[in-house]
Structure 1
């Protein structure tokens, strides 16, 4: 496993574990963070503010399907499950695209996150049993 692969696994697990310090330490001061369909977050301070607002207290599970890594970019896709405010389990598929700073080791300068709710998607093994 490469250093970058290990870092990306830790970075994604930091969301599950609410390890905001690791997330903040892993991005550049001028980070651009975009969750498709939401306003882009510019800068570490704005990211800290946004993350503190959405910090979850519910149990989450994460499964990484694959990673593609180059010198200055990476893509990670996988799935996650968590319970909503009504204690109903929701399933999401995600693909995160990362760009890394070339001047700072393992610092993310840009994230584009695609997240899709597949809880009731056709073909979902769990839902097809119902």
Structure 2
């Protein structure tokens, strides 16, 4: 089994690739996910629905992870993500910090904080 830091890096990279199957295999059946400014999503079916809708957007993502901090069954990942809504669109940059609760080698809860940083040249 891979270590927690490697697991979380791979999970975040799967988000950037919109790899729903990898994401779904990384979470518990009772996953709780929420963006800090929104009401949460509970359970795998609702989480998968959100991911499939997100992956249908056609956005092009790029990810840079700065830090992964693991303390027992809790972890934090922060970095930057850029996205283009289409190949000719502007590049938008976001800073993110995700908080994780882990259980049995999977993600049981995620709270995602994000802040738009504006256009990148």
- What is the TM-score of this pair, normalised by structure 1? 0.84
The equivalent of 1:54 in structure 2 is 54
Aligned length: 118
- Note the alpha carbon deviations across 1:17-63, whole angstroms, 9 max, x for none: 11111100111111110111122000011101111111142321100
Higher strand share: 2
> Taking CA–CA contacts closer than 8 Å with sequence separation of 6 or more, which of the two structures ends up with the larger relative contact order?
2
Distance 2:74 2:21 in 1: 22
Aligned-residue CA RMSD (Å): 1.7
Distance 2:37 2:4 in 1: 28
Segments of 4+ moved more than 4 angstroms: none
- What is the TM-score of this pair, normalised by structure 2? 0.90
The equivalent of 2:97 in structure 1 is 95
Distance 1:84 1:90 in 2: 9
Structure 2 gaps of 5+ residues are none
Matches within 5 A, 1:91-130: 91-101=93-103, 104=104, 106-119=105-118
